[in-house]
Amino acid sequence: MSLRKGSKVWVEDRDLAWVAAEVVDFVGKQVQVITASGKKVRASAEKVPPRDPDAEDHGGVDDMTKLTYLNEPGVLYNLERRYALNDIYTYTGSILIAVNPFTKLPHLYNVHMMEQYKGAQFGVLSPHVFAVADASYRAMMNEGRSQSILVSGESGAGKTETTKLIMQYLTYVGGRAAGDDRTVEQQVLESNPLLEAFGNAKTVRNDNSSRFGKFVEIQFDANGRISGAAIRTYLLERSRVVQITDPERNYHCFYQLCASGRDAEKYKLGNPDNFHYLNQSKSYELEGVSNAEEYLKTRRAMDIVGISHDDQEAIFRTLAAILHLGNVEFSPGKEHDSSVLKSQKSTFHIQMAADLFMCDVDLLRATLCTRTIQTREGDIIKALDCNAAVSSRDALAKTVYAKLFDWLVEKVNRSVGQDLNSRVQIGVLDIYGFECFKQNSFEQFCINFANEKLQQHFNEHVFKMEQEEYSKEEINWSYIEFIDNQDVLDLIEKKPIGIIALLDEACMFPKSTHKTFSTKLFQNLRTHLRLEKAKFSETDFTISHYAGKVTYQTDTFLDKNRDYVVVEHCNLLSSSKCPFVAGLFPSMPEESSRSSYKFSSVASRFKQQLQALMETLNSTEPHYIRCVKPNSLNRPQKFENQSILHQLRCGGVLEAVRISLAGYPTRRNYSEFVDRFGLLVPELMDGSFDERTTTEKILQKLKLENFQLGKTKVFLRAGQIGVLDSKRAEVLDSAAKRIQGRFRTFIARKDFVLIRAAAFALQAYCRGCHARNIYVAKREAAAALILQKYVRRWLLRNVYMQLYSASVLLQSCIRGFSNRQRFLHQKKHRAATLIQAHWRMCKVRSIYRNRQTSIIAIQCRWRQKLAKRELRRLRQEANEAGFLRLAKNKLEKQLEDLTWRLQLEKKLRVSNEEAKSMEISKLKKALETLNLELDAAKLVTVNECNKNAVLQNQLDLSCKEKSALQRELIGMAELRKENAFLKNSLESLEKKNSELALELVKSQKDRNDTLEKLQEVERKCFQFQQNLQSLEEKLSSLEDENHVLRQKALTPSPKSNRPGFVKSFSEKYTGPLALTQSDRKPGFESPTPTKLIAPVSITLSESRRSKFAIERHQENHEFLSSCIQADLGFKEGKPVAACIIYKCLLHWRAFESDRTAIFDHIIEGINEVLKVGDENIALPYWLSNASALLCLLQRNLRSNGFLTTISQRSAGSSGVTARVAQSLKSPFKYIGFDDSMSHVEARYPAILFKQQLTACVEKIFGLIRDNLKKEISPLLGSCIQDYKCCGEQHPCHILDSDDSPLKQCHGDTIYLESVDYNCLETMVDNCLSRHEWAPKPVRHAGKLARSPGGGLPQQSQSSQWDSIIKFLDSLMDRLRGNHMIE
């Protein structure tokens, strides 16, 4: 077919299978189309089948062969359109397609409808299942040949209902022989619940799927009357009895029996999940189905069929025995490859099975666990292992159920009644359709094999129908090819290398597995085109069926194909005491066999049954009904395209379409063809004409070939109708364009003439209206001016008078309201002031009490801490026995002090209680006063109400005057507002009264809490006394330890102060405050208090510090760090940094604190500055600041006697500090503090900080001294060496005095001790002038005092002494700049 823009086509869609589209463009060999949803798609021209544009105007066609374009999407959407109109039946030639409506349509199946189709020609009326049934009946009667109706489809498609309708119609047209009460249809339908209970089960797609094929033969006599019927079944799924998968179920009868109530109890049954054959799947119930009710229906069906009560009991007893048999489990026995019952539970179930079968339990156990092999020498009993025993158990269960199902079918046939003399019959085949799941096993293989057979029969029938159609029209059809699937059937059933033959061969060998079967299958059939190997499995295989490819899993093929008939099982059950069970297993003839096994292939038996069925169908005239399930949810008016398309492929409908497409798929009557395409040749349509001749001329003019002209129809090849439609669309488009052009011209001219005439009339009318409007407007404007003048004057006067009266009234009201508000405000202010005073008094009192309790607790902890410190000091000082006595006396004094404090606390508690009682009395008095004020406010409110009444009377008297009445009414409104305000104030006072009462309760609770805290303090004091007594007892036992500790603590510093000897920096700090050799750090670091003493335990108050306190301490540390790192200089000769540090420590009460890290922070900051800064600048600066801070500490810190020993020990190490302080002139005056400064009682950290600061000053002084020695020693050494060479007196002899800065000279090295820098420069000048070391001036040129060689030493000595003087000058300048000297 040639496509053009605007052509209607179908395009493939992933979700909807096919969607309608329209061609919009051509891109190379591809076609660009736009779908109905607006989506643009590109596809090749071969993959876009044409669409009939006129199909949307009607509800579809009743026969697919009438479609203009017979293709897959056309068939699908024709079914959808008809299904939407509840037209569920559609023909495809002679094939009927029935779509399950999932709702009742009673108007389609009543007697009136059957009467219409009775005797009607096939195809004349609308498609219907009655039409197919009537056609089969008429063909049987006219031709005398048996007919068959093949109803196929997947589970849930409505096959069973269609079968019922066919039998209903045949019963209607065929009648029944005289004397029969029930019709065949009634008898077959009454047996249907019985067969469904024992042959139907839940599958993945259907809750009531038939797991067997059913062929119902309705037999007729020579007069066309129904004479009998028979039901034949095929391939019952026996493996489902012992093996199911989730979410499927076993056969319905088992679940019905478990829900039967008394019968279940009688057979020891219960919940289905207790039985192995049922609990392999977790699905036990069906939605909307009651197992108990279905059990009653099954019982009723058995009664109708004619099964006696005893046989019914035997049937359900047999079902119960099968369930109990499935719960028998085996475990390995003592002998090799033997098995025994696993547990007591298995023993119970096998006993129940034997009782229900009415056989010997030991014999039943033996038949399951052993096998008897017959030999010439005798019988050999072979033990079975656990797996073989389980297989034997399952084989027995399957055999019993299969025999039971065959017995039921035979019973139904006897009940219905068969006519063995009938020559013609109509068979209705209800068999499962093609199946393709995610997991396909042996059952799907057999089902699809049967469908392949039926499809071959279907193809032959369709091809035959095509031949009949062509022969009827007398056209040539010899070149039409027939599509056959014989190669697939050969692959499955051909011997000796077909799949069934290879499967039977594998089952014959006991050690064969599915892997060996798959290997052999692929080896023998590797080159077959229809067989493929699965991609992701070594054992799975794929067969290309007519409906598509299906992959089969071979894991259970061998187990499900084996159907052993065990002689012991048959002999056991044939000897049963139950006649029913014994009748299922008649006595077997004796056969000479070495084994008790008789292998029977399920696939081979099914092939034989299928062959017999095909022979039956081949002997009849077939009619086909394809049932389609529209959706998987079983809901009406829901059409799932993908699912239905798959069913059409599986049902062979599309295969029939392909057969039609291979020939002449498009067929039209000559009259229809000429009416539709006669416009292509208009010259032939004039006058009378022959339709066949005109059709031939039309096709010849369009140059179409390979068409055929029959008697009444024209037959076209696939695609030729598309060419005709394309040409017809072109002719119609050109004609439509020409007509549209002419019509638009006529309409445009007509509109123009009408519009012009209307415009003239409208303009004249508009001009007249406009002139009249102008005149009226001018006249109204003149009148309006006059009216406005008088109205404005009147309105302004009224407004003025109203404003005047309102302002007077408003002023009087405002003045009264403001006075009342002022009075109320003053009254509230006085009340609020009184309440605030009481509340503040109460709040301050509670805060005071809380602080008092906290202070008492802190004091207790602090005294405890001081006592512990005193104990440590006593241990250090406890050197003699006298010390212990002194300690004891002190402890006694402290005990007395504590008892006195305890009494004092008790007195304070009593006084607090009295104060609280007084406060409570005051609060009560305040409450009484508030109540009095409340009463007074109520009286005021009453008075105001009285006043309101008086005012009301006055208003009544003064109602004569209008203005006075208005003023009084406004006053009344204001008084009411005031009343409301007074009521609100009264309510607020009551609320405040309640709040005060609540505060009183809270104060009482606080008093109780304070009493509890005081009791807790008493307990702590008592514990403290006990601790003191225990410490006193331990003093004597710790005497030796105290002696050792005291010696270590009081070891004096080994520093020597001999004149002329200078220690190194590391030796100056070997005292008690110095670090060990391993803890020393290089550089300017000095020891800190945290490095010298053990950390003090965190006190109770420190553990309860708030976050605010921690942040405040952090800010303090940062402030001191900035002061230490910055060079703040001096103000009025005072070191600013030292003053700030001291003031901050004094303000923060750091000297009185038992535990603080601020001192460590200061020392570390000074050390850090000394490390980083320039020595020439930092050392003098910090010598001044540290000395000043140390002087302030020595002057203002006062020890409490607790650390006197430590201070005495540190006195020897502060010699340098004393000398520095002496070198300063009145240091305290220099800093700016006089003697009247108050002393601070220092705690242990403060004393330790002072010692550390002393060490820091000594270190700075030593560093300055070392730098001086480093610079001056080489210069002095060179000067001394020069004078030795000159033979003059050594300068140190002259300077060797007690106050000389040069104490000793040894060789070339000068050792400097602590010097007084104020007189150092003067002493050097004196030495130079006394010995005339400096060069002298020359008196006259002719007389030289010294030789040139003697002048060089004098010059070098002079330069060296100049360097010394220069260095000393710079050092003195730096010291003066830092105010160390004046």
Give Cα 633 to chain centroid, integer Å: 30
Token couple for 1029: 């007594």
How far is Cα 440 from Cα 588, in angstroms, rounded to an integer? Answer: 37
How many CA atoms are closer than 13 Å to the CA of 584, on its beta-carbon side?
Answer: 26
Catalytic residue among 162, 210, 392, 1217: 210
Asked if 879 is an active-site residue, the reply is no
Return the ∠ at Cα 851 (arms to 848 and 854), rounded to 5°.
Answer: 150
Catalytic residue among 185, 217, 435, 1258: 435
1329-1366 burial, b at 16+ Cβ within 10 Å, e below that, comes to: eeeebeeeeeeeeeeeeeeeeeeebbeebeebbeebee
**Span between the terminal Cα atoms of the chain, in Å:** 123
Q: Is 157 exposed, middle or buried (0-12, 13-18, 19+ CB in 10 A)?
A: buried
Catalytic residue among 65, 206, 712, 1273: 206
Residue 742: helix, strand or coil by DSSP?
A: helix
114: Cβ–Cβ under 8 A, 6 or more apart, which residues? 130, 168, 169, 172, 173
Asked if 433 is an active-site residue, the reply is yes
- Kind of pairing between the strands at 708-709 and 200-201: unpaired
Number of Cβ atoms within 10 Å of the Cβ of 123: 14
How far is Cα 98 from Cα 109, in angstroms, rounded to an integer? Answer: 14
Q: At what angle do helices 670-677 and 720-877 cross, to 10 degrees?
A: 80
Asked if 160 is an active-site residue, the reply is yes
Handedness of CA 235, 238, 239, 243 (dihedral sign): positive
As a three-state string, the secondary structure of 426-459 is EEEEECCCCCCCCCCCHHHHHHHHHHHHHHHHHH
How many CA atoms are closer than 13 Å to the CA of 452, on its beta-carbon side?
Answer: 25
**Closest of 260, 240, 157, 245 to residue 200, by C-alpha:** 240
Catalytic residue among 92, 155, 163, 1042: 155
Catalytic residue among 199, 213, 433, 498: 433
Query: Residue with structure tokens 């208090």?
Result: 1089
Bridge partner list, 1304:
1311
Determine the residue type at 560: K
Asked if 1350 is an active-site residue, the reply is no
Handedness of CA 1345, 1348, 1353, 1359 (dihedral sign): positive
Return the ∠ at Cα 819 (arms to 815 and 825), rounded to 5°.
Answer: 140
Asked if 435 is an active-site residue, the reply is yes
Contact 27, 14 (CB under 8 A): no
Contact 292, 260 (CB under 8 A): yes
Q: H helices of 358-441, where?
A: 361-369, 386-416
Q: SS3 helix, strand, coil % of the chain, rounded to 5?
A: 60, 10, 30
Query: Residue with structure tokens 């027939």?
Result: 482
Number of Cβ atoms within 10 Å of the Cβ of 868: 14
How far is Cα 1088 from Cα 1106, in angstroms, rounded to an integer? Answer: 27
Catalytic residue among 7, 92, 209, 1003: 209
User: What are residue 305's phi and psi, to 5 degrees?
Assistant: -65, -25
What is each CA distance from 958 to 3, 815, 955, in whole angstroms? 105, 22, 5
Catalytic residue among 156, 498, 651, 663: 156
Token couple for 1090: 């945290």
Asked if 156 is an active-site residue, the reply is yes
Determine the residue type at 686: D
Asked if 485 is an active-site residue, the reply is no
How far is Cα 152 from Cα 428, in angstroms, rounded to an integer? Answer: 10
How far is Cα 106 from Cα 522, in angstroms, rounded to an integer? Answer: 54
Catalytic residue among 136, 160, 422, 846: 160
List the catalytic residues: 155-156, 160, 206, 209-210, 433, 435
